[in-house]
């Protein structure tokens, strides 16, 4: 028996209403709005309400995806919640989401690969379906980075926002998934980290720390090769990719990657101007927006790639079937 085909049959996203605009940060740090935008491509970012947890914003995105997929929550066999900002260390945020959805047939777990998390989760979902173990899986990417951002630090407070995205993956007659490439470079783990967030108490800092220049250099050197590996594994050429959805880390990174690949930036979908860096949520949010706005159409090939803390990366080529 061969692998069972699978597709994304529903997408969803949630972006909080409250925004943190460049003019607010410019006044705080005595800089200009243009200074922030020129270095990041960001004009505003969204901040969740204080009473919202990661499971709450994940719920809104999940309900959106479930509605689009036209399924009942009892049909969900598994929930994979990709986040680096869980509601608490235990139980898994996926279990809390399950209770909100009343998805009582689902096995649940969290997956932490930071900004690459959604692709890791999507790969995991595909493998469970392809091997026949499960039929319908909900994958959520959600983060509340505002809770771990030091708003006295100019370099990080201008980058991060909150948000959630979700997809429903299901066994189907035609396969949408053409390739996956996953990887990690643990020797670079201190490039992006939250020092005092687990059992390691060697630091008192509870905030996200990022060596931006080092990450930029690594990304523009490494990501193009991962893109090429992804299309090669998919058995197609780079020219056959209709759109790229790259983790929305920094617009300068995206532009530099496009230039290194010799591709027009128009092929690289973006929402960083309005959303900032939303970690595990950035790819599913942008995918959902692009589907709902009919930018991505049936038959088009999409390459998604996430990268971040770990350092870890994940890429996937899919053909959109709906």
DSSP letter for each residue of 213-231:
HHHHHHHHHHHHHHHHHHH
Whether 52 is catalytic is no
Site of tokens 């050429």: 237
The angle that helices 54-69 and 282-292 make with each other, rounded to 10 degrees, is 30
Whether 189 is catalytic is no
Nearest to 46 by CA among 31, 61, 32: 61
Residue in 13, 82, 247, 250 annotated catalytic? 247
How many beta carbons lie within 10 A of that of residue 12, not counting itself? 27
Q: Collect all residues with Cβ–Cβ distance below 8 Å to 26 and sequence separation of at least 6.
A: 32, 33, 35, 36
Main-chain dihedrals φ then ψ at residue 298, nearest 5 degrees: -55, 135
Residue in 82, 95, 108, 115 annotated catalytic? 115
Nearest to 245 by CA among 273, 272, 214: 272
Element of type H or E holding 56? helix 54-69
**For the chain, what is the radius of gyration of the CA atoms?**
19
Whether 277 is catalytic is yes
Taking a C-beta distance cutoff of 8 angstroms, is the pair 318, 298 a contact?
Answer: no
The angle that helices 212-234 and 251-261 make with each other, rounded to 10 degrees, is 40
Q: Which residues are catalytic?
A: 115, 247, 277
């Amino acid at each position: 028996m061969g692998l069972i085909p699978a597709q994304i049959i529903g997408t969803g996203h949630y972006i909080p209403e409250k925004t943190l605009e460049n003019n607010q940060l410019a006044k705080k740090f005595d800089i200009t709005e243009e200074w922030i935008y020129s270095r990041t491509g960001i004009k505003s970012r969204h901040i969740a309400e204080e009473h919202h947890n990661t499971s709450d914003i994940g719920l809104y995105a999940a309900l959106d995806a479930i509605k689009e997929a036209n399924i009942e929550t009892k049909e969900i066999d598994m929930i994979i919640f990709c986040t680096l900002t869980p509601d608490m260390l235990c139980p898994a945020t996926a279990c809390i989401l399950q209770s909100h959805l009343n998805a009582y047939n689902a096995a649940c777990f969290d997956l932490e690969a930071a900004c690459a998390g959604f692709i890791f989760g999507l790969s995991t979902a595909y493998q469970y379906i392809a091997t026949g173990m499960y039929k319908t899986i909900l994958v959520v990417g959600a983060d509340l980075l505002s809770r771990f951002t030091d708003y006295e630090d100019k370099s990080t407070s201008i980058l991060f926002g909150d948000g959630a995205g979700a997809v429903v993956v299901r066994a189907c007659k035609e396969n949408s998934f053409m390739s996956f490439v996953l990887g990690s470079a643990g020797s670079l783990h201190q490039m992006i980290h939250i020092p005092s967030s687990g059992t390691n108490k060697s630091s008192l800092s509870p905030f996200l720390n990022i060596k931006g220049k080092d990450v930029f250099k690594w990304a523009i050197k490494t990501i193009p090769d991962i893109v090429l590996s992804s299309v090669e594994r998919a058995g197609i050429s780079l020219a056959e990719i209709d759109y790229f959805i790259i983790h929305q880390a920094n617009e300068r990174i995206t532009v530099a990657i496009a230039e290194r690949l010799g591709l027009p930036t128009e092929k690289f979908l973006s929402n960083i101007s309005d959303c900032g860096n939303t970690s595990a949520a950035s790819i599913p949010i942008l995918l959902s927006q692009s589907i709902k706005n009919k930018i991505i159409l049936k038959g088009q090939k999409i390459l998604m790639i996430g990268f971040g803390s770990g350092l870890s990366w994940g890429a996937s080529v899919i053909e959109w079937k709906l």
